[in-house]
Amino acid sequence: MENIIIPNAELCARCKGRGYCGRPCPLLEKLKAGMPKPKLAFSGTTPPEIFVGRHNYPYVYAGILAPETYEDTGEYSMPEKWHEKKLSIDQILALRGQLVYSRFRLSIKSVKSGWHNQATRLLSVMQETAMASKPTTAEFRLRKPPAKRLLLDSHIPIIGNPAPLIKVRLEENPRIERKVEYLVNDTDVKASQAVIELYNSRIEVSNIIKVLSAGLLGTKTRRKLVPTRWAVTAVDDTLSKRMLEKIRHYDEISEFMLFHAEYIGNHYEFLLLPDKFAFEVLEAKMPGSVWNPGMKLVVMEDYEGFYGRKSYASNVTGAYYANRLALCEYLMRVKRQAACLVMRECRPEYYAPCGVGVLREASRQAFRNKPERFANLHDALEAANQRLRLPIEEFTRRSWLLRNFGKQQKLDRWLN
């Protein structure tokens, strides 16, 4: 299939395939071939995947995603598997297009309301699905056929085929990891601590996000549904912050180190500098890439000093925290601290949003690769420049971290 360019990113984000621009939706056209035929009742195997929306918060849509097939659907949902199998965007879109988003509306506080109605009965099944570690078969009954439109969000993979859900029934007992079941039943553990314990038990980040989003973690009186977009960032942020509590006490690296990786049009260069921990992400949205339909380069930036940041990284958004988690995992392995400049080229090949998960996995891959080592900053930047399509100056002249590196400053100068 040929790559496509979204004609107006802002309009597309509002439209979600509903035809506001008066033209056929290029992303919707890409998915139509794999979209299921409209049915009011169907059975299938959920990957498992759930989704909790954020619009009209605290009254939101939530539901289960499943295709009309009984095969192993694990790779329909998990970025970890997409990256492992090196799936292309076309392949990812084909898988996503087969999923029906069977949804219902409820309050985020329904988790602890005690009321028993249709929404809370549907919620109970959704929560069982969220806890599952393997694909689970279910039977769905819809009020209307699935609508052929899209839910677009840079944090999550494309979701299509929304339909109002009347009834859902699991056709088998879901397989649930012991640690997940234990922490879901423990209503005295805070959500942040539960996230950390699940991670330490080698539960995939994608699965932790689902459990948190379904309102299954935290103390009894504070449990509630968490919009999936927020849950993605919350998990990445919580895990990396806990790691940084140790990383800030490690010795600094003694040389310049450069890591790189690329996946579906996302090219990363991670430059580690011998200094106290600091972190900066510069994202270059190249013309023709997702969210940049124009002809001008768009560069977004967020950063933090040694003591972290107090506000949300509103420019880079969720990718910032996914990149930071991958970095922290590496620094924990080598027991060192460093300042890190992240340079991302979002290239035209990345023409459809596939979620923060693919960026997390690309970042992790970079740190699994053997690093290039340099005695000085100039040589490290020159090596990165050989792989970047843009001149390295597009990054270096904007970098807060490089402007401050090498200066004899007091520690409090690193504060945001």
3-class secondary structure for 225-274?
Answer: CCCHHHHHHHHHHHHHHHHHHHHCCCCECCCEEEEEEEECCEEEEEEEEC
374 forms beta bridges with 256
Report the distance separating Cα 25 and Cα 152, nearest Å: 12
Say if residue 19 is in the same domain as residue 109. Answer: yes
Same domain for 195 and 333, yes or no, is no
CA 215 to chain centre: 18
Residue-wise pLDDT tens digits, 91-144: 998 899 899 999 999 999 998 766 678 899 999 999 999 999 999 999 999 999
My answer on whether 56 and 137 are in the same domain is yes
Q: Are residues 343 and 360 in the same domain?
A: yes
Pairing of strands 162-170, 136-142: antiparallel
**Whole-number Å distance between alpha carbons of 122 and 99:** 18
Which range marks the domain in which residue 61 is found? 9-170
Q: Are residues 148 and 185 in the same domain?
A: no
Tell me: the pLDDT tens digits for 318-332?
A: 999 999 999 999 999
Indicate whether 87 belongs to any domain. yes
How high is the pLDDT of residue 352? 86
Of 198, 219, 245, the residue that ends a domain is 245
Bigger pLDDT: 87 vs 412: 87
The encoded tokens of residue 296 equal 């001008």
Task: Please check whether residue 78 lies inside any domain of the structure.
Answer: yes
Radius of gyration of the chain, Cα coordinates, nearest whole angstrom:
22
pLDDT tops 70 at residue 235: yes
pLDDT for 158 equals 86
Confidence at 153, pLDDT banded by 50, 70, 90: confident
- Does residue 83 register a pLDDT over 70? yes
Task: Reply yes or no on whether the pLDDT at 85 is more than 60.
Answer: yes
* Average pLDDT of span 272-292: 92
- pLDDT tens-digit map of 354-412: 999 999 999 999 999 999 999 999 999 999 999 999 999 999 999 999 999 976 444 44
Assess if residue 389 is contained within a domain: yes
Let me know whether 57 and 35 are in one domain. Answer: yes
* Cβ(272)–Cβ(259) below 8 Å: yes
Query: Are 257 and 109 contained in the same domain?
Result: no
How does pLDDT run across 289-315, given as a tens digit for each residue? 877 777 889 999 999 999 999 999 999
The answer to whether 337 touches 252, Cβ cutoff 8 Å, is yes
Residue at 314 is within a domain = yes
- Paired tokens of 287: 């013309």
Q: Is residue 1 part of a domain?
A: no
Report whether pLDDT(163) > 60.
Answer: yes
Same domain, 142 and 268: no
pLDDT tens digit sequence for 210-225: 999 999 999 999 999 9
Give the chain's end-to-end CA distance (angstroms, integer). 45
pLDDT tops 70 at residue 19: no
How sure is the predictor about 26, in pLDDT bands with cuts at 50, 70 and 90?
low
The whole-number average pLDDT for the span 254-259 is: 98
39: in domain: yes
Q: So what's the pLDDT on residue 8?
A: 52
Task: Give residue-wise pLDDT tens across range 189-206.
Answer: 999 999 999 999 999 999
Summary mean pLDDT of the chain: 90
Q: Both 105 and 218 in a single domain? A: no
Question: What secondary structure letter does DSSP report for 134?
Answer: S
- The answer to whether 284 touches 388, Cβ cutoff 8 Å, is no
Same domain? For 158 and 240 the reply is no
pLDDT value at residue 152: 74
114 and 34 share one domain:
yes
pLDDT value at residue 403: 95
What is residue 85's three-state secondary structure? coil
Look at residue 114 in the predicted model and tell me its pLDDT: 61
- pLDDT value for 39: 81
Higher-pLDDT residue of 319 and 14 is: 319
How many domains, in total, are found in the chain? Answer: 3
Residues present in the chain in total: 416
pLDDT for the residue numbered 413: 42
Among positive and negative, which fits the CA dihedral 53, 11, 289, 238?
negative
Q: What is the mean pLDDT of residues 20-29?
A: 66
| Rounded Cα gap, residues 81 and 90, in angstroms | 15
- Say whether pLDDT at 14 is over 80: no
Contact 79, 354 (CB under 8 A): yes
- Specify the pLDDT at position 385: 98
Note whether 133 and 200 are same-domain residues.
no
pLDDT at 294: 75
Last residue of a domain, one of 245, 260, 279: 245
The count of C-alpha atoms lying within 13 angstroms of the C-alpha of 251, restricted to the half-sphere facing its C-beta, is: 4
* More reliable by pLDDT, 392 or 288: 392
Q: Where a domain ends, among 192, 219, 245? A: 245
Q: Which amino acid is at 306?
A: F
Q: pLDDT at position 268, please?
A: 98
Residue 177 has what pLDDT?
97
